[in-house]
Every structure is written in C-alpha cells, then in structure tokens.
Structure 1
C-alpha cells in the first residue's frame, strides 16, 4: 500500500492516519490540486455547451500534467499535507466521472465502460464507509490506481479526437481505444486491490 508521503507499506499494516501529515494549506501541490478541481466544471461546459473539443482537450492535458506534478512536488519540497491527501484523489475521481458522463451524453464511449467504472467508484465508496465505521482511516492512493488514472486522462483527449471528423480521427482512434481499454482494466484492478486491502484491515481489526 502506498502512503500519502510516497513511501510503501505492507497492506496488512494499518493505513497511516492523515493526522500524521502536515497542516499546511498554502503549498504548491495543493494549489495544483485546486487548479485541477476548478477545471472540472470548465471541462464539462466546454464539452456540453459550445462543444469546444479542442479546448476541452487542453484542459484534460493540463489536468494530466498537474496530476503527475503535484505528487512529485509534494515529495521533492516536503509539502505533503492532509489537505493534499484529500484533494488529489478527489480531483482524479471528479475528472474521470465528469468525463465519462459527458462522453456518454455525446456517444463518445460505450455505456458498458462507463457502467463498469462508475460501479467501481460505488463499491469503493461503500468500502470507505465500512472502514470508517470500523475505525480505520481511508486507504491511501495505490500506485496502480494513479497509473490507471494517468492513462485514462490521456486516453480521454484521444477519444475526443477519434470521435471527430477530421483526418486525424482515424489516425488516433487505435491508440485512443487501446489506452481506454488498458486504463479501464488497470482502474478496475486497482479497485480490486483496494477492496483486498480493506478486507485485510477489517480481518486484522477483528483478530486484534
């Protein structure tokens, strides 16, 4: 299990409390996470309002870069914080859910892909509630989950281009669909790992 400070830990060890992290709010990684959060409504408006796909792609690309950068900067600058541990996965999930909703409304991706990924979020939401009731803190972001999110955030712009009518659409379509399948598979696998970790923690709690 990956800790919020970037260090690895055993899946059977209790998840580190966010109280162990710093209280700082005004940090560079937190500013990047807030920037990504602010981009969610802008991205939805661009897709569903004027359907400015080019600018929507730019927003997604900026989100992908900041998603990678905030974690690196948090470790490099020693600016890991409780707020950052909450904002980073929240921004990731909001972008993915918002993108999937917009893509379904515009018939960019099949409904079954969206149903599978949204079901994953629902299951993890239930798992987090069960852990909280048992006295455990939320599971920290797993490296596989971050990798899957990174792939999806780059697959989505390519899907937009593939859904277009220009000469670029048939060129990027194979890569777009490959990244979507790969990213979705890893995203679901990461969800399974989170559930396995949660079951291990709950069993450990009962044994104790």
Structure 2
C-alpha cells in the first residue's frame, strides 16, 4: 500500500483567522498575568492565566492545521506570543523570587545567542531558520513548568510533590531549549558556509 504524503499548508495573508484571534487573546493574558503576580499577589489566579496561555499555545497551532487556516501573521504571532509569555514570566518570577537568577540568565542567554545568529543570517540575505520541534517542545514544557512552580509556592500543602514536578519540567525545558539552539547554530553555520562556497565559485567562474 502506498504511503500518503504529508499534508502541506500554504500560509495565507489573512489576519482575522480563528488561530490569530486565539493568539491575540493569549497576548492580552500577559499584562493580566503580570498584574496578578506583581500587584495583589493573586498567585492562584496568575497560575490559571499562565496555564490557559500555555494551553492555547498548542490550541492555535492545532486549529490552524485542522482548519487549513495557516497565515503568515500567525507564523509570526505564535512564536512572538510564546517568547513574550516566557519573558514576562521570567521577569515576574525573578522579581518575586520564585525562580533563581541562574535559570533566568540561562534562558535569556539562549535568546541572545539566537538573536545574534538571526542578525548574522539577515546580513547575508537569509531569513530565520524554520522552527525546530525541539524548540517548540521546550516552549511547551516550559509553559507547563511555570504554573507548577508558582502553584507549589502559592499552595504550601502541595509543595512537597508539585515543586519537584515543576522543577523537573523546568530542567527538561532548559535542556530542550539549548539543544534546539545548538541545531539552529549548526543550520546557521551551514548556510554561511554554503554562501561562502557560492561566492567563491562565482569568482572562479
């Protein structure tokens, strides 16, 4: 029996698609989360907002593929919302003392490394490399780790088992994040080497 080819999704120029609306709602959750966490310290409510934001990260991608409503805006908006959630959570958690500085530094350093690689690629006329499943999985795991860590702090009676779960997920996410970064750097080096070879060939010809 012949194997069915994997479905291909063509990104459209539409803006008001259901996945994009979900992503916009996710973005609105960022200031709400920071207010709950840093203002009145409603940690349980902040956990709920954070958990909903992490869950809808998967939902908008699933809906986009299921309804064949992948858009160019969505391809930019989804990772932007992910990074904004992670950045806001790291800032809020660090200010509140929920996570140590080394975790914040390790995650932010990874973003700085990728930002530099992206600038180098753009200077040579390349766009950003495609999102790798390791990075996407790392984001999903991290967005699951954060609510667990905060919930353990907010409800001391479950800290003995919820805390270790949250930190195990955080370590897992950190490893996936840096593994994905290594792959992106390898892709960047391959593109730059191919670019140099093409230019060298053009000079010889």
Q: Same fold (TM over 0.5)?
A: yes
Aligned length: 192
Counterpart residue number, 1:14: none
Q: In the alignment, is residue 163 of structure 1 matched against residue 156 of structure 2? A: no
Counterpart residue number, 2:201: none
Asked which structure has the greater RCO (Cα within 8 Å, sep 6+), the reply is 1
CA distance in 2, matches of 1:37, 1:105: 21
Counterpart residue number, 2:96: 106
Runs of 4 or more consecutive aligned structure 1 residues displaced over 3 Å after TM superposition: none
Counterpart residue number, 1:33: 23
CA distance in 1, matches of 2:188, 2:38: 37
Q: In the alignment, is residue 136 of structure 1 matched against residue 136 of structure 2? A: no
TM-score (norm 2): 0.88
CA contact (8 A) 2:11 2:69 kept: no
Q: Deviations for 1:183-203, whole angstroms, at most 9, x for unmatched residues?
A: 111112111111111111121
Match 1:199 to one of 168, 189, 202: 189
Matches within 5 A, 1:120-135: 120-135=110-125
CA contact (8 A) 1:6 1:75 kept: no
Runs of 5+ consecutive residues of structure 1 not aligned to the other structure: 8-19
CA distance in 2, matches of 1:206, 1:179: 41
Q: Deviations for 1:79-118, whole angstroms, at most 9, x for unmatched residues?
A: 1111011101111111111111111111111111110100
C-alpha deviation, 1:166, in angstroms: 2.7
CA distance in 1, matches of 2:161, 2:106: 27
Max radius of gyration: which structure? 2
CA distance in 2, matches of 1:86, 1:154: 22
Counterpart residue number, 2:71: 81
CA distance in 1, matches of 2:56, 2:155: 29
Counterpart residue number, 2:82: 92
Counterpart residue number, 1:146: 136
- Of Structure 1 and Structure 2, the greater helix share is in 2
How large is the Cα RMSD of the aligned pairs? Answer: 1.7
Secondary structure, in 3 states, of the residue corresponding to 1:168? helix
Q: In the alignment, is residue 60 of structure 1 matched against residue 31 of structure 2? A: no
